[in-house]
Amino acid sequence: MVKKSAVWKVGAMACVTVLALSACGGGNDSATTEDGKPIVTVQVVKDARAEKMAKMGWTKDLETACDCSIKWQEVASSSWDQQKQASLAAGEVADVTISGFGSGDMGEYGSLFLDLKPELKSMPNLSKVFKTEPYSQVISTTTDGKILGAPTVARQVTARTSNHMFINKQWLDKLGLKVPTTWSELETVLKAFKTQDPNGNGKADEVPMDFNSPGTGGFGLFQPNVLLASAGITVPNGALGMYVKDGKVKNYLTDPSYKELITYLHKLWSDGVISSEAFTHDWSKYTGTAKGSGNTATVGFTWMWTPSDIFGPQLASQYVTIPSLKMDANQTETPVWAYNGDDLAYQADRAVISAKVKNKEAALKLVDAFYSPDISVQARYGSFGTAVKRNAENNYKILDAPADHDSASDWQFYQSLADGAPGWISDDMKLDLPSAHTEVKGVDAVYDNDYKNVDFNKDVLYANMPMTPEQTTTLNANNTGITQGAMSKFAQWVTKGGVDSEWDSYVANLKKNKLEENIKLEQQIYDAFQKNMDTIGVNLNSTN
């Protein structure tokens, strides 16, 4: 949170550095074109691989739908965070922002955005989304009953988790080993990967285990904290160790199972089976290492979305997806698996409108148009004729990447906003998808038995729970000390040891930094969210 004494300075700087965001004056010098059409400034945060918005054919349909002229302001997602903070601090946002803000911004900065609830009568497409997919209304409703943004709903084409666990089956077969089912069996396999040249090139170049490097801000995707699912913890993405069990918010950062995980990972580190760069490499090095060299794999075990994503199409067939492991073969606790499916299928506030928008009617039409079937599909997958074939109403074929395009995964971002697009991929929409889009379904199905042990109404810390400004401020203030205390110790204990001797002082330090207060606040937030789910009539067990 920006201190009051710094607001003027930050705001002034924002008007210099964030002209591309909102022009620091309501978005436009003129509200209409020369021929009288309303101008709507749309700030869009997108993948750097995507072409200019005006070149995407479907954006012309948006202009037709709103009978307006769209002034696009484009920012790469990799550079958005700094610009976002300057924009919010200055109190200036574009007429419409796509994929720039989320429910976490609404607690403190909600006054900057238009309440869509009174406007739903003029937004038939969005109203239908809320009626058909009531959970989307739950995540879009603030603590004081407002709807400050329109969501993305794409349950049909997403998964229950981003974290899928892969092991090189070709290596296992060569060494006469079985797929591990426990932590101990995994350790045995990883040691064999290190010492027995499973890729057969005569070099000691195998990386038995690798993972996405944990940052100083907490755990993210594709990191070993997901192994806590072995202890019955439904690990969410982020949230500084918070999770839910039987409707009660808990925190694993001080849980004995977390200590046991660190002890196990330190043993693996001492065995030399974890990548020596696991805590220092960047994303490109992590994913690049996994792609090996030609037909020669380098990494034996890791986490990612699909094998093709992490290992590349040439090596993907060497790997199999494995379900949650047991900590111990004789444990009584039933393993589960990590879950962020609510966040994948339902994204809150994907499109927001400024409270100071000049052409409100046109902006409302523009946002509502994203939820028509034709624009929903094109905004997510690309334009008709090049990336999508429209077979009939609500019936589409998503085309393969052109032969001259280097990467199928890159292509899906080229003419679209991909999963960053507002829109609704409804259950009654027929989609013929290429393998690059369907691979994850088979991968995700491996966890069916693990998810049988999860009550999605009582065992999930939901991703888009609204907070009051007071809750937001307190949690953010406390999180600074909690994060510093937890993440530095995690890296230190895994690589150097010492968790046993330092555990009690570590727990005391987290309590000193108000971890217990944060748990109580998260419980309040969770209870309010659950109450809204009950009021609107949501049962997530029926959609998972």
Question: For 406-458, what is each residue's pLDDT tens digit?
Answer: 566 677 778 899 999 999 999 999 999 988 889 999 999 999 999 999 999 99
Cα 74 versus chain centre, distance: 21
Q: What is the pLDDT of residues 232-281, one digit of tens each?
A: 999 998 768 999 999 999 999 999 999 999 999 999 999 999 999 999 99
Structure tokens at 295: 């037909």
CB 522 within 8 Å of CB 240: no
Listed residue (18, 28, 20, 23) closest to 358, CA to CA: 28
Checking 532-539 for CB contacts under 8 A at 24+ apart, the result is 532/138, 532/141, 533/135, 533/138, 533/457, 536/134, 536/135, 536/137, 536/138, 537/134, 538/134, 538/135, 538/138, 539/457
7: part of which helix (H) or strand (E)?
Answer: helix 4-17
Evaluate whether 257 touches 530 at the Cβ level (below 8 Å): no
Widest pairwise Cα distance in the chain: 76
> What would the pLDDT profile of 350-395 be if each residue is shown by its tens digit?
999 999 999 999 999 999 999 999 999 999 999 999 999 999 999 9
CB 160 within 8 A of CB 341: yes
SS3 label, residue 487:
helix
Confidence (pLDDT) at 461 = 96
CA angle, 28 then 91 then 17, to 5°: 70
Geometric angle at alpha carbon 24, from 74 and 7, rounded to 5°: 115
Per residue in 27-50, pLDDT (tens digit) is: 445 688 888 899 999 999 998 889
What per-residue string of b and e applies to 217-236 under the rule 16 or more CB within 10 Å gives b?
Answer: ebbebbbbbbbbbbbbbbbb
DSSP H or E segment with residue 73: strand 69-76
Q: Which CATH number fits domain 164-338+460-542: 3.40.190.10, 3.30.70.1710, 1.10.530.10, 3.60.70.12?
A: 3.40.190.10
Q: What is the pLDDT of residue 128?
A: 98
SS3 content of the chain, % helix, strand, coil (to 5): 50, 15, 35
| Cβ 96 vs Cβ 354: under 8 Å | yes
Given a contact cutoff of 8 angstroms between Cβ atoms, the answer to whether 207 and 287 are in contact is no
- Rounded to two decimals, the pTM is 0.88
CA 19 to chain CA mean position, Å: 28
Mean pLDDT of 76-93: 91
Task: Tell me the backbone φ, ψ of residue 95, rounded to 5 degrees.
Answer: -55, -50
pLDDT of residue 18 exceeding 50, the answer is no
Q: Pick 39-158+345-385+398-428's CATH classification: 3.40.190.10, 2.90.10.10, 3.20.20.140, 3.30.530.20.
A: 3.40.190.10
Residue 435 has a pLDDT of 86
Residue 16 pLDDT greater than 60, yes or no:
no
Where do the H-state alpha helices sit in 405-456? Answer: 408-414, 435-445, 448-451
Burial tier of 116 (Cβ tally within 10 Å: 0-12, 13-18, 19+): buried
- What is the C-alpha separation between 303 and 250, in angstroms, rounded? 25
- What counts of helices (H) and strands (E) characterise the chain? 21, 15
Q: Describe the crossing of helices 183-195 and 256-271 by its angle, rounded to 10 degrees.
A: 20
Q: What is the DSSP letter of 146?
A: -
Tell me if 462 sits within 8 A of 191, measured CB to CB.
no
User: Higher model confidence: residue 209 or residue 405?
Assistant: 209
Contact predicate 318/169, CB 8 Å: yes
Of 174, 178, 181, 170, the C-alpha closest to 196 is: 174
Q: Is the pLDDT of residue 14 over 50?
A: no
Q: Please tell me whether residue 32 adopts helix, strand or coil conformation.
A: strand
Section 302-307 average pLDDT:
97
The overall average pLDDT reported for the chain is: 91
The answer to whether 39-158+345-385+398-428 and 164-338+460-542 have equal CATH topology is yes
Domain ranges of the chain: 39-158+345-385+398-428, 164-338+460-542
